[in-house]
Amino acid sequence: MARKSGTKRQKSNTGSSGEDAIPMDGLDVPNRSKRVRWDVTSDQGEEAVSGPTDSDSVPSEKASAFGRLGCAYYDPATCVVSVLEDSREAGHYDLTKMLVEQSNPRVIITSSKSDDACISVLQDYAEAAGSIFQIRPHREFVPSKGRERVLSLKLLTELEGGVCSSPDTFPETSENGLMGAYNFMQGRKQTSGDPNMKRWNATIRLANFASLESAPLCLSCIGALIDFLTRERAAGELDHDGSEALEIQSIEALVLDKVMHINADALHSLQVFESENHASIHSEKTKEGLSLFGIFNATRTALGRSLLRTWLLRPSLSLEVLEARHTAVECFLLPENTPAIGALQTHLKGITSVPKTMKALKCGKGTANDWQALVKFTYHSSMLCDALSELYRCGNVEVVKKFIGAVDLRSLKEIGNVINKTIDWEESAEVERICIRPHIDEELGNRKHAYCGIDSVLSKVAQQISQSVPAEYATSLNVVYFPQLGFLITVPMLEEWTSGAGINVLEGWSFQERIAFLIPGADMDHHIGDLHSSIVDREIELVQELLEKIVPFHDSIMNICDVCAELDCLLAFAEAARSFNYRRPRMVEGSIMDIVQGRHPLQELVADAFVPNDARLVGGIGFGQSYVPDDAFSVADGLPFNSVVLCTGANACGKSVYLKQVALIQYMAQVICSFVPAESATLGIVDKIFTRIQTKESVSKVQSAFMIDLSQVSLALRNCTSRSLILLDEFGKGTISTDGAGLFCGVVKHLLNRGTDCPMVLAATHFHEVFRKGLLNPDTVPITFLHMQVLFTASNGDLLSTDGLTNPDVVVDSETHSRASVPGERITYLYRVAPGLSYGSHATQCAAMYGLPYRIVARARYVSELLATYELGKLLEEQMSEEELLDLQEAEKVARRFLEWDLTSEEAAHQTESLSPSMAHQEKEAHR
């Protein structure tokens, strides 16, 4: 009934509420002992029996490659597939453990190319929980195959209510029979549907459920999951209809209990990460640009940078964790702690990637640099412990407690001393291998002593051998020592040896062909041998003995590395808070946001002057609901509390920046647990963030820009809760204004109709007609209406009006809320939020400011005024000739005279007689 799938390159999880069964697409397998299975076949249909059990379970699959993880999960009780988009996995596989613990899987499926460490994690869980664990062939985990499986689901291929069609009718028969064949194809189309249309529907609707375009691992998991369910269905019901027959009612994003859900679109829209290409076109390297990660990445270690990126991708939902990290940053910002903070940052620089170093050492591939890095780690860790003990008011700082508890100074000192006493750093750097210090091993010392005196030994050997060699055999000889071969004695080649007589070999000697080397049969190799190789072999043995002394401390070292990474991130947060004047937010339970004088953390870095603004939202206030703030809040002090905040204003007035800054302040406080750019902020816990801000178009996508916008909004509506945050920036602008306004108004009202389940919504729009026509009546709907203020000044500098707070001397149309533009007027953006609505976008002023030719701007203003006052006829008159205008004027006179007649009186006939013949004829025609 429930299964979970994935690849690690693919891994898997499954879970549901059941304990006794492994249901597969509605089938129940009898209660039996769960076990780990290492087979590559899944014919479990032979074990299936009829008769339901009391509970259901879920197969799951996970996939991770190059430090990333994907997952898919099927719950047969609800017929819902939950997917986890490709996410970054930590070195300890915390995300994998979190997934399996939350889902409690009955069956876990993973790829044969998964990481061994990840397979071990899944296997350990399966053995402890009694789940079935399968390793499937990697060919089942292919993104293209997974995409095909998804696009074949009825959920996506068939629209709700069926696809309406009215095919033309054709004669059933014809003389040549061709029309009958055509009718056959048409009938087949009506029965099974147009496959091209089905695929198009599926491609369009897939983005409504999950963002899988940039998640190949997740697609791989879905494909493997659907294949698994299809096999089980076929085995249990002898049904070979394929994946189309699977009962999948919905696809949802898999939400973890402990972390916030934020998809790739939201990360891109909020500019959390931003990669910039290298300046050279010949380089494929990238660097971090202006992004949230960039301004916080003041970490000193590779471990800290990796953890910071993980925190950005997986925000925490734990209030205790957030409070602990905020308390640490607050402590690090105290002026009394400045010297200690400097020492901490200095010593963190000396810590390299120790996990990578330990892995190389355990594999026997460690170099002298690796051993030296381990020694530096022990030293700097000890110094970090001393620096942390000097911090002022750090008794309640959790990271300090964790570090001091993790560091055993005695063990670190022991590790550093034993390495320093064993390895000769200078000799190791000279010969480029690990060398052992003298007096560590007596046998090694004797070999090195003999090796160092090898020149004198060779001279003595040469003298002894030369006395036994006849003078006519060799006038000179050399004794050579080759480290890889041993001792060799060479003599010059004589001319007679090259003749047919051959070489006269002395007794006890052997001739080596081609090189004319003669090796004596003496026992020099037996007594001296290959000294160099024996020295290297012995040093390898001693290094291995050294490693065996270090291995027991492996877990302790890894624990210290984890705490160092967390400490590095928190120090980076404190540095950013000090540099950019961030303040500590007050985190509370519930769904609320009260921000005073908030700023955009990125925009303020590039703007000459940034204008801060307030924001207030609370979740769960829809139609029929109300919110009474506690003593800490007062509506009179600022903006009211509502779930929906709708911002209007002129083009380029800063609405989008306002929306983003509110979301980023929440994100910073909760995601990376840092201080925020605001005077003060009271924030609840947000479980999901959805955005409709930026549209990433591509020719590789089937969707148009408007369809992409619809997919983003659809995804938000399907998955949001009362604790979610949704940003809607000019939703509906991709179609005609009436349709766009209707969609925007429908989405807002749908969210308000949810009542207590209404999420927090920040929206910006130019559809002012929804307020004029009473669709969203500002006096009745529970929406906070805001606008961005602008100033209008005349050419002489006199103030004409402020948008939203009209000057009493300026006439404003009560029906259209529009103001007649004044020649030479200028617009000044104040970037300041104020209560109320703005009923104009002032596009022409914006166009003039940004360089559009004056004649175009003037024409646009003229046409806009005519449309606003319903003077459409004047635009039509511009296309007429002079003669047509005269005729129109005459016709207008006749029409006006006619409208003035009182046709019930007897004077009408006399008035007709007094007209000229031509006019009388025209009026008679008009009267008729």
Residue 17 has pLDDT above 70, yes or no: no
- What is the rounded CA–CA span in Å between residue 785 and residue 762? 10
φ, ψ dihedrals at 110, nearest 5°? -140, 165
Q: Do the beta carbons of residue 681 and residue 598 sit within 8 Å?
A: yes
Q: Do the beta carbons of residue 546 and residue 434 sit within 8 Å?
A: no
Q: Do the beta carbons of residue 678 and residue 596 sit within 8 Å?
A: yes
Taking residue 185's Cβ as centre, other Cβ atoms within 10 Å add up to 9
Instruction: Return the minimum-mean-pLDDT range out of 497-501, 529-533, 714-718, 733-737.
Output: 497-501
Selection from 600, 567, 564 nearest residue 582 by Cα? 600
**What are the structure tokens assigned to 697, written together?**
């178009």
Those residues whose C-beta lies under 8 Å from the C-beta of residue 346, and which sit 6 or more positions away, are none
Confidence at 749, pLDDT banded by 50, 70, 90:
very high
What is the rounded radius of gyration, in angstroms, for the C-alpha atoms of the chain? 40
- What is the H or E stretch that residue 682 is in? strand 680-683
Distances from the Cα of 278 to the Cα of 16, 147, 283, 292, 606, angstroms: 48, 33, 6, 20, 21
Look at residue 811 in the predicted model and tell me its pLDDT.
Answer: 38
Three-class SS string for 542-567? HHHHHHHHHHHHHHHHHHHHHHHHHH
Q: Do the beta carbons of residue 661 and residue 762 sit within 8 Å?
A: no
Selection from 805, 672, 706, 788 nearest residue 308 by Cα? 672
Highest mean pLDDT pick, 339-343, 474-478, 534-538, 809-813: 339-343
Taking residue 590's Cβ as centre, other Cβ atoms within 10 Å add up to 12
Confidence at 329, pLDDT banded by 50, 70, 90:
very high
Instruction: Return the minimum-mean-pLDDT range out of 145-149, 558-562, 783-787, 812-816.
Output: 812-816
Residue 662 has pLDDT above 80, yes or no: yes
Look at residue 663 in the predicted model and tell me its pLDDT.
Answer: 94
Look at residue 810 in the predicted model and tell me its pLDDT.
Answer: 40
Confidence at 814, pLDDT banded by 50, 70, 90:
very low
Residue 808 has pLDDT above 50, yes or no: no
Selection from 755, 757, 693 nearest residue 724 by Cα? 757
Confidence at 911, pLDDT banded by 50, 70, 90:
low
Instruction: Return the minimum-mean-pLDDT range out of 38-52, 425-439, 537-551, 796-810.
Output: 38-52
Selection from 310, 239, 406 nearest residue 87 by Cα? 310
**What are the structure tokens assigned to 813, written together?**
């149309």
Higher-scoring residue by pLDDT: 100, 687: 687
Taking residue 356's Cβ as centre, other Cβ atoms within 10 Å add up to 14
What does the pLDDT average to over 175-200? Answer: 55
Q: Do the beta carbons of residue 600 and residue 660 sit within 8 Å?
A: yes
Instruction: Return the minimum-mean-pLDDT range out of 191-195, 331-335, 398-402, 771-775.
Output: 191-195
**What are the structure tokens assigned to 503, written together?**
């070489």
Q: Tokens 């390299």 correspond to what residue?
A: 352
**What are the structure tokens assigned to 104, written together?**
């409690």
Q: Do the beta carbons of residue 708 and residue 701 sit within 8 Å?
A: yes
Highest mean pLDDT pick, 462-476, 528-542, 727-741, 746-760: 746-760
Distances from the Cα of 823 to the Cα of 16, 442, 507, 792, 858, angstroms: 69, 100, 120, 11, 10
Helix, strand, coil content of the chain in percent (nearest 5): 45, 15, 40
Number of H helices and number of E strands within the chain? 33, 25
Higher-scoring residue by pLDDT: 168, 443: 443
Angle of the 398-406 helix axis to the 554-580 helix axis, nearest 10:
150
Look at residue 187 in the predicted model and tell me its pLDDT.
Answer: 53
Mean pLDDT of the chain: 76
For residue 517, give the amino acid letter: F
Residue 42 has pLDDT above 60, yes or no: no
- What is the rounded CA–CA span in Å between residue 65 and residue 876? 64
Look at residue 856 in the predicted model and tell me its pLDDT.
Answer: 87
**What are the structure tokens assigned to 370, written together?**
């690796």
Higher-scoring residue by pLDDT: 638, 659: 659
What b/e readout covers 245-280, taking b as 16+ CB neighbours within 10 angstroms? ebebeebbbbbbeebbbbbbbbbbbbbbbbeeeeee
Distances from the Cα of 226 to the Cα of 23, 72, 223, 644, angstroms: 14, 10, 5, 39
Q: Do the beta carbons of residue 179 and residue 170 sit within 8 Å?
A: yes
Highest mean pLDDT pick, 128-132, 418-422, 528-532: 418-422
What b/e readout covers 476-490, taking b as 16+ CB neighbours within 10 angstroms? ebebebeeeebbbbb
Look at residue 617 in the predicted model and tell me its pLDDT.
Answer: 93
- What is the rounded CA–CA span in Å between residue 189 and residue 192? 5
309: left (phi over 0), alpha (psi -120 to 50) or beta: alpha
- What is the H or E stretch that residue 785 is in? strand 783-793
What does the pLDDT average to over 108-114? Answer: 86
What does the pLDDT average to over 46-56? Answer: 31
- What is the H or E stretch that residue 186 is in? helix 178-192
What b/e readout covers 601-637, taking b as 16+ CB neighbours within 10 angstroms? bbbbeeeeebbbbbbbbbbbbbeebebeeeeebeeee
- What is the rounded CA–CA span in Å between residue 768 and residue 776? 10
Look at residue 482 in the predicted model and tell me its pLDDT.
Answer: 65
- What is the rounded CA–CA span in Å between residue 458 and residue 240? 83
479 bridge partner residues: 489
Q: What is the dihedral of CA 761, 765, 767, 768, to 10 degrees?
A: 90
- What is the rounded CA–CA span in Å between residue 458 and residue 480? 7
Instruction: Return the minimum-mean-pLDDT range out of 27-36, 355-364, 917-926.
Output: 27-36
**What are the structure tokens assigned to 793, written together?**
């000044």
∠ CA 7-12-18, nearest 5°, is: 160
Q: Do the beta carbons of residue 292 and residue 312 sit within 8 Å?
A: yes
Look at residue 70 in the predicted model and tell me its pLDDT.
Answer: 84
Model confidence over 605-641: pLDDT tens digits?
Answer: 998 889 999 999 999 998 888 887 765 555 545 788 8
- What is the rounded CA–CA span in Å between residue 217 and residue 46? 31
Look at residue 212 in the predicted model and tell me its pLDDT.
Answer: 75
For residue 199, give the amino acid letter: R
Those residues whose C-beta lies under 8 Å from the C-beta of residue 483, and which sit 6 or more positions away, are 530, 531, 532, 533
φ, ψ dihedrals at 529, nearest 5°? 65, -160
Model confidence over 230-260: pLDDT tens digits?
Answer: 887 777 654 555 555 567 877 887 777 778 8
- What is the rounded CA–CA span in Å between residue 403 and residue 571? 14
- What is the rounded CA–CA span in Å between residue 252 and residue 80? 7
What does the pLDDT average to over 61-67? Answer: 51
Task: Tell me how far apart the terminal alpha carbons of the chain are, to the nearest angstrom.
Answer: 79
Residue 442 has pLDDT above 90, yes or no: no
Residue 395 has pLDDT above 60, yes or no: yes
Instruction: Return the minimum-mean-pLDDT range out of 40-44, 155-159, 485-489, 802-806.
Output: 40-44
Q: Do the beta carbons of residue 574 and residue 332 sit within 8 Å?
A: yes
